[in-house]
Amino acid sequence: MKKIIVIGLMLLAITFPFLRGCYDRVTIPEKVLVVGAQTEEFSISTEREIRDQNKVAQYESLLEEIDFESSEWEPETYPDFVLMINYKEGYFVGFHHIWIEEQGGYLLLNGSNENFTELTAQQVQKLKEITEE
């Protein structure tokens, strides 16, 4: 009886990583919208993940309708928050840095100081709806 228990535990220990990987593939959504904050010049901390696929699709749609300008803009502060999309396969799209303006608008910077845009009030509202918990 002891031998059967030991063999069973060994089989469980051997197959656990495989079963865990299968479980993750089934339960993790295709895309996750990650909300974070920039803490240092090259450091971003994750605050939360948005796994709702409708919200991720809305964010992607918002990005498609934005026209980025190709001119220099040098921010004076860290962004209010940072967004990126993580894919199940292990790669990501982003980092999109977002600043809140005094007038209630956001300024979105797409990874470099050369690609930015000012968002309309409608885009701001849509972004608020997407990122709220």
pLDDT in tens, 35-48: 999 898 888 898 99
Alpha-carbon torsion 51, 52, 53, 59, what sign?
A: negative
Whether the link from the prior residue into 68 is cis, omega within 30° of 0, is no
pLDDT in tens, 86-109: 998 787 887 888 887 767 666 666
Residues contacting 69, CB < 8 A, separation 6+: 115, 116, 117
Domain spanning 28-131: which CATH class is it, in words? mainly beta
Highest mean pLDDT out of 49-58, 71-80, 119-128: 49-58
Q: Quick one: CA torsion of 56, 60, 62, 66, rounded to 10 degrees?
A: 160
